[in-house]
Amino acid sequence: MTAMDAQNTDMPEPSPEPEVAPEPVPEPELVPEPEPELAPEPDPEAVPEPEPEPEPEPEPEAVPEPALVPTLVTQAPATNTRRRTLFFTGWLASALAVGAGVGFVILAATGKPKAVDIDQALQQTVPSASPETTSPKITAGVRSDGTHYGNLLAFLLPVPDGYKPGPDEGELGNDSPVRPDQADPTLTLLFGALPASDLSGAQGAVAAGHMSGGAVRSYANEAGTLDIALTVLQLDPALSAKSTGDFTRIVKQSKAYRTGPAVPGHPNALCVLPTTHVGDPLDSMTCLDTVGDTFAVVRAEGVVPLDTGAVTDMFGRQLDVLKDGLKA
Protein backbone atom coordinates (compact mmCIF):
# COMPACT_ATOMS: atom_id res chain seq x y z
CA MET A 1 0.00 0.00 0.00
CA THR A 2 2.77 2.32 0.67
CA ALA A 3 4.28 1.68 -2.74
CA MET A 4 1.00 2.23 -4.50
CA ASP A 5 0.36 5.32 -2.54
CA ALA A 6 3.69 6.62 -3.58
CA GLN A 7 2.94 5.94 -7.22
CA ASN A 8 -0.43 7.55 -6.98
CA THR A 9 1.02 10.65 -5.52
CA ASP A 10 3.54 10.86 -8.29
CA MET A 11 1.05 10.48 -11.18
CA PRO A 12 -1.41 13.32 -10.53
CA GLU A 13 1.29 15.94 -10.25
CA PRO A 14 2.26 16.00 -13.97
CA SER A 15 -1.38 15.88 -15.19
CA PRO A 16 -2.40 19.46 -14.22
CA GLU A 17 0.60 21.01 -15.92
CA PRO A 18 -0.40 20.07 -19.49
CA GLU A 19 -4.01 21.23 -18.84
CA VAL A 20 -2.95 24.86 -18.28
CA ALA A 21 -0.95 25.08 -21.50
CA PRO A 22 -3.73 24.24 -24.05
CA GLU A 23 -6.23 26.78 -22.64
CA PRO A 24 -5.11 29.75 -24.86
CA VAL A 25 -5.10 27.57 -27.98
CA PRO A 26 -8.90 27.35 -28.52
CA GLU A 27 -9.29 31.15 -28.57
CA PRO A 28 -7.88 31.64 -32.11
CA GLU A 29 -10.02 28.75 -33.29
CA LEU A 30 -13.11 30.96 -32.71
CA VAL A 31 -12.00 33.53 -35.33
CA PRO A 32 -12.85 31.52 -38.46
CA GLU A 33 -16.36 30.75 -37.14
CA PRO A 34 -18.01 33.91 -38.74
CA GLU A 35 -16.48 33.00 -42.13
CA PRO A 36 -18.73 30.02 -42.77
CA GLU A 37 -21.75 32.01 -41.54
CA LEU A 38 -21.24 34.81 -44.12
CA ALA A 39 -20.75 32.46 -47.03
CA PRO A 40 -24.19 30.80 -46.97
CA GLU A 41 -26.10 34.06 -46.31
CA PRO A 42 -25.43 35.80 -49.66
CA ASP A 43 -26.23 32.63 -51.60
CA PRO A 44 -29.94 32.48 -50.64
CA GLU A 45 -30.34 36.25 -50.85
CA ALA A 46 -28.80 36.42 -54.29
CA VAL A 47 -31.17 33.80 -55.61
CA PRO A 48 -34.46 35.87 -55.24
CA GLU A 49 -32.82 39.01 -56.65
CA PRO A 50 -32.78 37.86 -60.26
CA GLU A 51 -36.46 36.89 -59.95
CA PRO A 52 -37.75 40.58 -59.92
CA GLU A 53 -35.66 41.25 -63.05
CA PRO A 54 -38.83 41.40 -65.18
CA GLU A 55 -40.02 44.30 -62.96
CA PRO A 56 -37.62 46.86 -64.53
CA GLU A 57 -39.49 46.35 -67.78
CA PRO A 58 -42.30 48.79 -66.76
CA GLU A 59 -39.64 51.37 -65.83
CA PRO A 60 -39.01 52.36 -69.46
CA GLU A 61 -42.77 52.83 -69.75
CA ALA A 62 -42.47 55.58 -67.11
CA VAL A 63 -39.83 57.38 -69.20
CA PRO A 64 -42.33 59.93 -70.70
CA GLU A 65 -42.37 63.53 -69.54
CA PRO A 66 -44.73 62.95 -66.57
CA ALA A 67 -41.97 60.87 -64.96
CA LEU A 68 -39.80 63.98 -64.73
CA VAL A 69 -42.33 65.85 -62.63
CA PRO A 70 -42.38 63.50 -59.61
CA THR A 71 -38.58 63.34 -59.54
CA LEU A 72 -38.42 67.07 -59.17
CA VAL A 73 -41.05 67.09 -56.47
CA THR A 74 -39.51 64.32 -54.41
CA GLN A 75 -36.17 66.08 -54.23
CA ALA A 76 -37.75 69.30 -53.00
CA PRO A 77 -38.10 69.84 -49.23
CA ALA A 78 -40.93 67.82 -47.70
CA THR A 79 -42.51 70.89 -46.08
CA ASN A 80 -42.89 72.66 -49.43
CA THR A 81 -43.83 69.67 -51.62
CA ARG A 82 -47.38 70.88 -52.42
CA ARG A 83 -46.32 74.49 -52.99
CA ARG A 84 -43.39 73.49 -55.22
CA THR A 85 -45.63 71.15 -57.23
CA LEU A 86 -48.15 73.92 -57.95
CA PHE A 87 -45.39 76.39 -58.61
CA PHE A 88 -43.61 74.11 -61.06
CA THR A 89 -46.87 73.17 -62.80
CA GLY A 90 -47.74 76.85 -63.29
CA TRP A 91 -44.25 77.53 -64.57
CA LEU A 92 -44.48 74.72 -67.14
CA ALA A 93 -47.83 76.06 -68.34
CA SER A 94 -46.47 79.58 -68.75
CA ALA A 95 -43.35 78.30 -70.48
CA LEU A 96 -45.43 76.35 -72.98
CA ALA A 97 -47.69 79.38 -73.56
CA VAL A 98 -44.75 81.62 -74.33
CA GLY A 99 -43.10 78.97 -76.45
CA ALA A 100 -39.98 78.71 -74.35
CA GLY A 101 -38.76 75.19 -73.51
CA VAL A 102 -36.22 76.31 -70.95
CA GLY A 103 -37.29 73.75 -68.34
CA PHE A 104 -37.11 70.84 -70.79
CA VAL A 105 -33.72 71.92 -72.08
CA ILE A 106 -32.30 72.00 -68.57
CA LEU A 107 -33.72 68.57 -67.73
CA ALA A 108 -32.29 67.05 -70.88
CA ALA A 109 -28.86 68.60 -70.37
CA THR A 110 -28.39 67.65 -66.73
CA GLY A 111 -30.05 64.23 -66.72
CA LYS A 112 -30.66 64.71 -62.99
CA PRO A 113 -33.37 67.32 -62.57
CA LYS A 114 -33.30 69.26 -59.33
CA ALA A 115 -35.48 71.95 -57.82
CA VAL A 116 -32.53 74.32 -58.02
CA ASP A 117 -32.53 74.04 -61.81
CA ILE A 118 -36.10 75.35 -61.91
CA ASP A 119 -35.25 78.32 -59.74
CA GLN A 120 -32.30 79.17 -61.94
CA ALA A 121 -34.47 78.89 -65.05
CA LEU A 122 -37.03 81.23 -63.56
CA GLN A 123 -34.33 83.72 -62.65
CA GLN A 124 -33.17 83.66 -66.26
CA THR A 125 -36.62 84.20 -67.76
CA VAL A 126 -38.41 86.47 -65.28
CA PRO A 127 -35.91 89.37 -65.23
CA SER A 128 -36.96 90.22 -68.81
CA ALA A 129 -40.07 91.79 -67.31
CA SER A 130 -38.14 94.01 -64.90
CA PRO A 131 -37.32 96.72 -67.50
CA GLU A 132 -41.07 97.00 -68.21
CA THR A 133 -42.10 97.48 -64.51
CA THR A 134 -39.30 100.02 -63.77
CA SER A 135 -39.49 103.46 -65.38
CA PRO A 136 -36.83 106.18 -65.14
CA LYS A 137 -37.62 108.98 -62.73
CA ILE A 138 -38.16 112.41 -64.27
CA THR A 139 -36.21 115.14 -62.52
CA ALA A 140 -38.04 118.46 -62.69
CA GLY A 141 -38.67 121.44 -60.46
CA VAL A 142 -39.32 125.15 -60.03
CA ARG A 143 -36.45 127.54 -59.42
CA SER A 144 -36.63 130.41 -56.94
CA ASP A 145 -37.23 132.89 -59.80
CA GLY A 146 -40.29 130.93 -60.98
CA THR A 147 -38.66 129.34 -64.00
CA HIS A 148 -38.95 125.60 -64.64
CA TYR A 149 -36.42 122.89 -65.42
CA GLY A 150 -36.87 119.30 -66.50
CA ASN A 151 -39.51 117.56 -68.58
CA LEU A 152 -42.75 119.55 -68.60
CA LEU A 153 -44.74 116.31 -68.50
CA ALA A 154 -43.67 116.11 -64.86
CA PHE A 155 -45.68 119.30 -64.15
CA LEU A 156 -48.96 118.15 -65.69
CA LEU A 157 -51.65 117.01 -63.27
CA PRO A 158 -51.94 113.24 -62.76
CA VAL A 159 -55.28 111.74 -63.75
CA PRO A 160 -57.55 112.65 -60.79
CA ASP A 161 -60.29 110.56 -59.22
CA GLY A 162 -63.39 110.37 -61.37
CA TYR A 163 -61.35 110.74 -64.57
CA LYS A 164 -59.45 108.54 -66.98
CA PRO A 165 -56.98 109.28 -69.79
CA GLY A 166 -58.76 111.28 -72.46
CA PRO A 167 -58.74 111.23 -76.26
CA ASP A 168 -55.86 112.44 -78.38
CA GLU A 169 -55.49 116.19 -78.62
CA GLY A 170 -55.28 116.41 -82.38
CA GLU A 171 -52.03 114.92 -83.62
CA LEU A 172 -50.30 115.57 -80.30
CA GLY A 173 -51.63 112.49 -78.52
CA ASN A 174 -53.10 112.38 -75.03
CA ASP A 175 -49.89 112.38 -72.98
CA SER A 176 -47.00 113.69 -75.03
CA PRO A 177 -44.33 116.36 -75.34
CA VAL A 178 -44.78 119.28 -77.72
CA ARG A 179 -41.90 120.26 -79.99
CA PRO A 180 -41.17 123.89 -80.96
CA ASP A 181 -42.14 123.16 -84.57
CA GLN A 182 -45.58 122.04 -83.33
CA ALA A 183 -46.41 125.43 -81.80
CA ASP A 184 -48.53 126.77 -84.69
CA PRO A 185 -50.73 123.65 -85.15
CA THR A 186 -51.14 123.47 -81.38
CA LEU A 187 -52.40 127.06 -81.17
CA THR A 188 -54.69 126.44 -84.13
CA LEU A 189 -56.21 123.50 -82.26
CA LEU A 190 -56.62 125.48 -79.04
CA PHE A 191 -57.90 128.74 -80.53
CA GLY A 192 -59.39 127.64 -83.84
CA ALA A 193 -62.41 129.90 -83.31
CA LEU A 194 -60.23 132.99 -83.84
CA PRO A 195 -60.44 134.71 -87.22
CA ALA A 196 -57.45 134.03 -89.44
CA SER A 197 -55.90 137.47 -88.78
CA ASP A 198 -56.23 137.13 -85.02
CA LEU A 199 -54.91 133.57 -85.09
CA SER A 200 -51.88 134.67 -87.07
CA GLY A 201 -51.18 137.40 -84.52
CA ALA A 202 -51.51 134.94 -81.64
CA GLN A 203 -49.08 132.55 -83.30
CA GLY A 204 -46.63 135.42 -83.82
CA ALA A 205 -46.83 136.33 -80.14
CA VAL A 206 -45.80 132.82 -79.10
CA ALA A 207 -43.07 132.73 -81.72
CA ALA A 208 -41.71 135.98 -80.27
CA GLY A 209 -41.44 134.24 -76.92
CA HIS A 210 -39.03 131.65 -78.36
CA MET A 211 -40.89 128.55 -77.32
CA SER A 212 -38.47 125.78 -76.38
CA GLY A 213 -40.90 122.92 -75.76
CA GLY A 214 -44.12 121.88 -74.12
CA ALA A 215 -46.38 119.05 -73.02
CA VAL A 216 -50.03 117.99 -73.32
CA ARG A 217 -52.23 115.60 -71.35
CA SER A 218 -55.95 114.89 -71.74
CA TYR A 219 -58.58 113.63 -69.31
CA ALA A 220 -62.16 112.32 -69.64
CA ASN A 221 -64.67 112.06 -66.83
CA GLU A 222 -66.14 108.66 -66.03
CA ALA A 223 -69.63 109.79 -67.09
CA GLY A 224 -68.35 110.49 -70.62
CA THR A 225 -69.78 114.01 -70.64
CA LEU A 226 -66.58 116.09 -70.40
CA ASP A 227 -63.14 116.02 -72.03
CA ILE A 228 -60.33 118.26 -70.75
CA ALA A 229 -56.86 118.85 -72.23
CA LEU A 230 -54.05 120.68 -70.43
CA THR A 231 -51.25 122.18 -72.52
CA VAL A 232 -48.12 123.90 -71.19
CA LEU A 233 -45.63 125.74 -73.43
CA GLN A 234 -42.25 126.90 -72.13
CA LEU A 235 -40.93 130.28 -73.31
CA ASP A 236 -37.80 132.33 -72.84
CA PRO A 237 -38.01 133.73 -69.26
CA ALA A 238 -36.98 137.17 -70.46
CA LEU A 239 -39.69 137.22 -73.15
CA SER A 240 -42.53 135.20 -71.67
CA ALA A 241 -44.37 138.08 -69.94
CA LYS A 242 -44.66 140.21 -73.10
CA SER A 243 -45.33 137.22 -75.32
CA THR A 244 -48.23 135.87 -73.28
CA GLY A 245 -49.53 139.40 -72.61
CA ASP A 246 -49.86 140.04 -76.32
CA PHE A 247 -51.51 136.68 -76.83
CA THR A 248 -54.05 137.27 -74.05
CA ARG A 249 -54.95 140.71 -75.42
CA ILE A 250 -55.69 139.29 -78.87
CA VAL A 251 -58.01 136.62 -77.44
CA LYS A 252 -59.79 139.03 -75.08
CA GLN A 253 -60.50 141.58 -77.85
CA SER A 254 -61.74 139.01 -80.34
CA LYS A 255 -65.48 138.91 -80.98
CA ALA A 256 -65.25 135.17 -81.61
CA TYR A 257 -65.48 134.51 -77.89
CA ARG A 258 -67.69 135.39 -74.96
CA THR A 259 -66.18 135.86 -71.52
CA GLY A 260 -66.20 132.82 -69.28
CA PRO A 261 -65.99 132.29 -65.49
CA ALA A 262 -63.04 133.30 -63.29
CA VAL A 263 -60.50 130.79 -61.98
CA PRO A 264 -60.50 130.84 -58.15
CA GLY A 265 -57.16 131.95 -56.73
CA HIS A 266 -55.79 133.09 -60.09
CA PRO A 267 -57.10 136.56 -60.96
CA ASN A 268 -54.97 136.91 -64.11
CA ALA A 269 -56.37 133.76 -65.72
CA LEU A 270 -58.74 134.29 -68.64
CA CYS A 271 -61.54 131.91 -69.70
CA VAL A 272 -63.49 132.31 -72.93
CA LEU A 273 -66.25 130.38 -74.66
CA PRO A 274 -67.00 130.39 -78.38
CA THR A 275 -70.26 131.75 -79.64
CA THR A 276 -72.91 129.06 -79.64
CA HIS A 277 -76.40 128.72 -81.05
CA VAL A 278 -79.58 127.56 -79.42
CA GLY A 279 -79.94 123.80 -79.69
CA ASP A 280 -76.23 123.03 -79.92
CA PRO A 281 -75.65 119.76 -78.04
CA LEU A 282 -72.03 120.53 -77.20
CA ASP A 283 -70.15 123.47 -75.77
CA SER A 284 -66.47 124.25 -75.14
CA MET A 285 -64.31 126.58 -73.09
CA THR A 286 -60.65 127.65 -73.18
CA CYS A 287 -58.67 129.20 -70.30
CA LEU A 288 -55.12 130.59 -70.32
CA ASP A 289 -52.61 132.05 -67.89
CA THR A 290 -48.87 132.61 -67.43
CA VAL A 291 -46.75 131.15 -64.61
CA GLY A 292 -43.10 132.16 -64.72
CA ASP A 293 -41.73 131.03 -68.07
CA THR A 294 -44.72 128.81 -68.89
CA PHE A 295 -47.88 129.53 -70.85
CA ALA A 296 -50.70 127.26 -69.65
CA VAL A 297 -53.90 126.55 -71.58
CA VAL A 298 -56.86 124.31 -70.80
CA ARG A 299 -59.42 123.33 -73.43
CA ALA A 300 -62.64 121.56 -72.50
CA GLU A 301 -65.51 120.13 -74.51
CA GLY A 302 -68.70 118.60 -73.19
CA VAL A 303 -72.42 118.27 -73.39
CA VAL A 304 -74.64 121.28 -72.75
CA PRO A 305 -74.70 122.64 -70.11
CA LEU A 306 -70.91 122.53 -69.89
CA ASP A 307 -69.53 121.84 -66.40
CA THR A 308 -67.41 125.01 -66.28
CA GLY A 309 -66.84 124.60 -62.54
CA ALA A 310 -65.00 121.31 -63.05
CA VAL A 311 -62.89 122.93 -65.77
CA THR A 312 -61.85 125.98 -63.73
CA ASP A 313 -61.15 123.78 -60.70
CA MET A 314 -58.76 121.54 -62.65
CA PHE A 315 -57.09 124.51 -64.34
CA GLY A 316 -56.56 126.21 -60.97
CA ARG A 317 -54.85 123.11 -59.62
CA GLN A 318 -52.67 122.97 -62.73
CA LEU A 319 -51.58 126.57 -62.19
CA ASP A 320 -50.74 125.77 -58.57
CA VAL A 321 -48.49 122.93 -59.70
CA LEU A 322 -46.69 125.21 -62.15
CA LYS A 323 -46.16 127.71 -59.36
CA ASP A 324 -45.08 125.38 -56.53
CA GLY A 325 -44.30 122.06 -58.23
CA LEU A 326 -45.87 118.69 -57.56
CA LYS A 327 -45.91 117.81 -53.87
CA ALA A 328 -45.20 114.25 -52.75
Mean pLDDT, range 101-111, rounded to an integer:
36
Q: Each residue of 191-204: pLDDT tens digit?
A: 999 999 999 999 99
Helix, strand or coil, per DSSP, at residue 199: helix
Mean pLDDT, range 157-185, rounded to an integer:
95
Pick 281 or 77 by higher pLDDT.
Answer: 281
Q: Examine the pLDDT at 243 and tell me if it is beyond 60.
A: yes
Distance CA 172, CA 223 (A): 24
Q: What is the pLDDT of residue 231?
A: 98
Split at pLDDT 50, 70, 90, the class of 325 is confident
Split at pLDDT 50, 70, 90, the class of 60 is very low
| pTM for the predicted model, two decimal places | 0.58
What dihedral do alpha carbons 188, 189, 195, 198 form, nearest 10°?
Answer: -50
Distance CA 145, CA 251 (A): 28
Pick 301 or 92 by higher pLDDT.
Answer: 301
Q: What is the pLDDT of residue 40?
A: 47
As separate numbers, helices (DSSP H) first and strands (DSSP E) second, the chain gives 15, 10
H or E segment and range at residue 1: none
Q: Each residue of 29-42: pLDDT tens digit?
A: 444 444 444 444 44
Mean pLDDT, range 235-243, rounded to an integer:
95
Q: What is the pLDDT of residue 279?
A: 84
Helices (H), 102-162: 102-110, 115-125, 130-133
Split at pLDDT 50, 70, 90, the class of 55 is low
3-state DSSP helix/strand/coil % of the chain, to nearest 5: 45, 20, 35
Question: 164 vs 160, 218, 258, 327, CA distance in Å?
Answer: 8, 9, 29, 21
Residue 134 neighbours by CB distance under 10 Å: 8
Q: Examine the pLDDT at 228 and tell me if it is beyond 90.
A: yes
Pick 108 or 211 by higher pLDDT.
Answer: 211
What mean pLDDT, rounded, does the chain reach? 73
Furthest-apart CA atoms within the chain: distance in Å: 174
Q: What is the pLDDT of residue 139?
A: 80
Q: What is the pLDDT of residue 328?
A: 55
Q: What is the pLDDT of residue 190?
A: 95
Q: Examine the pLDDT at 73 and tell me if it is beyond 90.
A: no
Q: Examine the pLDDT at 96 and tell me if it is beyond 60.
A: no
Closest CA to 178 of 193, 166, 190, 164: 190
Q: What is the pLDDT of residue 9?
A: 45
